[in-house]
């Protein structure tokens, strides 16, 4: 016997890295989910908190040291990543490429997601460790512990970024 009790889709993303190149994947996935009507929750933990921290969100940089992808993308040998100013140059180049794709800056992207109904959370333990308060986070963010996020994520598709 077939039933029409199909549960609505739910996506839970865990954003754990706060560099410029790691901020966009969870934001793009969350935006795609919201555009298709999928309930969306993003849990920002450890350095991922930089993506929703007001003072940091629009100043994220690309890590050039220890990033093997820098060579083929920017044609920069790995050892050059250690030279002062290389991270700033790579970040500037990446921002130009992001602009060409017509993606908004990180802060604007996060605001768009909140306005679209995505739920964003700062990890309580990581915030305590980094001496952050709810006031440090973008408007619309909530603060949750990992166990609370586990409750929210029940039955969801979970992606760790």
The predicted-structure confidence for 7-63, as pLDDT tens digits, reads as follows: 889 999 999 999 998 999 999 999 999 999 999 999 999 999 999 999 999 999 887
pLDDT, position 6: 76
Q: How confident is the model at residue 1 (pLDDT cuts 50, 70, 90)?
A: very low
Query: Would you say residue 77 has pLDDT above 90?
Result: no
Report strand pairing: 119-123 vs 157-160. unpaired
pLDDT, tens digit, 9 for 90 and up, residues 85-118: 666 777 677 778 888 888 899 999 999 999 999 9
Judge contact between 77 and 71, C-beta under 8 A: yes
* Domain ranges (residues) in the chain: 10-58+106-160, 63-104
pTM, full prediction: 0.84
CATH architecture type of domain 10-58+106-160: 3-Layer(aba) Sandwich (3.40)
Judge contact between 48 and 16, C-beta under 8 A: yes
Q: Return phi, psi of residue 112, to 5°.
A: -60, -40
């Amino acid at each position: 016997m077939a039933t029409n009790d199909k549960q609505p889709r739910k996506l839970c993303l865990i954003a754990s890295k706060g560099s410029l190149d790691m901020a966009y994947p969870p934001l793009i996935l969350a935006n795609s989910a919201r555009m298709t009507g999928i309930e969306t929750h993003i849990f920002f933990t450890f350095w991922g908190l930089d993506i929703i921290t007001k003072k940091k969100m629009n100043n994220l940089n690309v890590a050039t040291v220890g990033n093997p992808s820098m060579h083929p993308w920017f044609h920069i040998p790995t050892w050059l990543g250690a030279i002062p100013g290389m991270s700033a140059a790579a970040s500037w180049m990446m921002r130009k490429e992001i602009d060409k794709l017509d993606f908004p800056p990180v802060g604007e992207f996060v605001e768009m997601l909140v306005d679209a109904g995505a739920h964003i959370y700062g990890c309580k333990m990581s915030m305590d460790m980094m001496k952050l308060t709810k006031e440090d986070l973008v408007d619309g963010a909530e603060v949750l512990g990992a166990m609370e996020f586990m409750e929210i994520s029940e039955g969801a598709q979970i992606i760790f970024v």
